[in-house]
Chain A
Amino acid sequence: MPDPATLYGLLGIVLAGLGVHAAIVQRDSIRRLLAINVMGVGVFLVLIATAYFGPDQDPDPIPHALVLTGIVVAVAATALALALLRAFERSEDE
């Protein structure tokens, strides 16, 4: 029986790979932002999967704290990128 930690960890790697692929292949900047965010979720998934030790055991709290920090930083970076984009599009209009 495959272990859920292994399965979700592998899915995380696949998601990160998909994110990298789309970030390179897509030309639209909002799409690239989405891709980077999906990449981030993939990395988070690998971290949380390695912290999981079965349904009856407490997980490792350190990766959890790391990912919590990561989620906030990711949204801050996304907001900054969107503001840059908006400024760029405004300057193109002029």
Chain B
Amino acid sequence: MLDALSLLLIFSGLAFYLAGTIGVLRLPDTLCRLHAVTKADNLGLGLLASGVLLQLSDPLQMLKLLLIWLLVLAASATGGQLIARHALDERPDQRAELPEDAK
């Protein structure tokens, strides 16, 4: 039962990872690809990590898993911003397509 639930979570996580990859391959510009990678992969990792969590018995390891997920979440949010700004510095033309308050 636990195994089945765990696998369900892991495979739903995989679906999000795959969606992120398809986004990377199909989306037209850097900012969209950035969006695909950060959003899909964070959800994917969250689901996958909860699936793995069910298989662990040591509370310390569970805590570590939670820490890893929070870290990736926070890091990709800020890291994504940094990369986006970097992309805009390099391709100022993309800035024109942004909504007014994001410039």
Do A and B come into direct contact in the complex, CB within 8 Å?
no
